[in-house]
Amino acid sequence: MSGNVTIRDVARKAGVSISTVSRVINGTGYVRESTRKKIEDAIRALGYSPNHVARSLSKGSTKIIGAILPDISNPFFPTLARGIDDAVSSRGYTLIICNTDSDVRQEESSVRVLLEKRVDGVVFVAGSPESASLVRRASEQVPVAVIDREVEGVPCDTVTVDNFRGSYELTRYLLNCGHRKMAYISGPLHLSTSKKRLAGFRACLRDSGVNDEPHVFHGDFKYDTGYSIAREIIRMGLGITCVVCANDLMAIGAMRCFQDLGIGVPSQVAVCGFDDITMASLVRPSLTTVAQPAYRMGALAAEMLLERIEKGRDQSPRSRVLEPVLVIRDSTGGGGVKA
């Protein structure tokens, strides 16, 4: 039959009422198994496809969730997205993922497109310095949950990790290994994750009586940047014994650079990161890092968002801070133990 098959046609062919067909399509209410089979056979025979827009307008819900992510080429974010998708799909929602490359124009177009599609809610990972205004704009129309990078001045549910403490514990471990001349490669310093990790690094040095100003280089969470800054560190001849990177991709880039220059890791210079992406345990030497529960962050933020969508938006914004875990591996001379 033609593409304009209606729910009425399905009901007639199956010999049931329209409301019974509607219950099968929406998965609501009880339908006898034999009746369900007749309806499903009729849907297949007629090639019926529910009119999603009409159904959405009648229900005031599209059952679609949007996720705005800054860099889906970084393995941290697909893991986080998997947590979001498992949570929303188990409740009958579809996930639309938008990648922004931390560019404000792409963040703007992502918010616009998702609102045009009438998504029921948005999970947002900030990337550009202007993200707060976009989170505010979206949250005026639909519930928004913020993950990983905090967004100041916009009251909405937030799930983060204790970045300060994770970085502090890592630095304390490095000091206990005897490192005193360390270089630090930060993430983009407009992001809360980057600021708090650098703050944790500095605070631990200060609390441990290491007063030498550390060499801090401004990175961007990218592999190539870790590689190029590592080369600059060697060119400068700083006598560094350890390079601390604000994420794993930069740390893996730095390790590759040292190995290309014939510099032993960790025998001549130790390297460590933050995230514990899958590659961290696969590279050689395996990477010491701070594990983030990325999957759990995504799932928890999605659960908080769905609760707000389904039970009303009057709840005051909630903030959940998850704990990171220090993972000691060979790139600092450790042995793969969780500290």
Contact footprint for ligand RIB (CB under 6 A): 74, 76, 148-149, 191, 193, 221, 247, 249, 274-275, 292
How many whole angstroms separate alpha carbon 339 and alpha carbon 337?
6
Q: How far does CA 292 lie from the centroid of its chain?
A: 10
How many whole angstroms separate alpha carbon 145 and alpha carbon 124?
6
Q: How far is the CB of 221 from ligand RIB (least distance, A)?
A: 5
User: In whole angstroms, how large is the CA radius of gyration of the chain?
Assistant: 25
Tally of CA atoms within 13 A in the half-sphere of 327 that contains its CB: 21
Q: What is the DSSP letter of 13?
A: H
Q: How far is the CB of 190 from ligand RIB (least distance, A)?
A: 11
Q: How far is the CB of 290 from ligand RIB (least distance, A)?
A: 9
Q: What is the DSSP letter of 29?
A: S
Stretch (H or E) spanning 37: helix 33-46
Q: Residue 241, class by beta-carbon neighbours within 10 Å (0-12 exposed, 13-18 middle, 19+ buried)?
A: middle
How many whole angstroms separate alpha carbon 81 and alpha carbon 294?
9
Residue 20 or 167 having the CB closest to ligand RIB = 167
Residue 275 or 303 having the CB closest to ligand RIB = 275
Q: How far is the CB of 59 from ligand RIB (least distance, A)?
A: 35
Residue 184 or 274 having the CB closest to ligand RIB = 274
- Tokens 């550009």 found at: 128
Strand partners, 320: 159
Q: How far is the CB of 80 from ligand RIB (least distance, A)?
A: 8
Residue 121 or 219 having the CB closest to ligand RIB = 219
Residue 46 or 189 having the CB closest to ligand RIB = 189
Residue 54 or 321 having the CB closest to ligand RIB = 321
Q: How far is the CB of 283 from ligand RIB (least distance, A)?
A: 15
Residue 74 or 171 having the CB closest to ligand RIB = 74
Q: How far is the CB of 200 from ligand RIB (least distance, A)?
A: 13
Residue 139 or 163 having the CB closest to ligand RIB = 163
Strand partners, 157: 145
Q: How far is the CB of 149 from ligand RIB (least distance, A)?
A: 5
- Under 8 Å between Cβ of 336 and 118: no
- Under 8 Å between Cβ of 99 and 310: no
> CB within 8 A of 155, min separation 6: which ones?
139, 316, 317
Structure tokens at 173: 């471990």
Structure tokens at 174: 């490095």
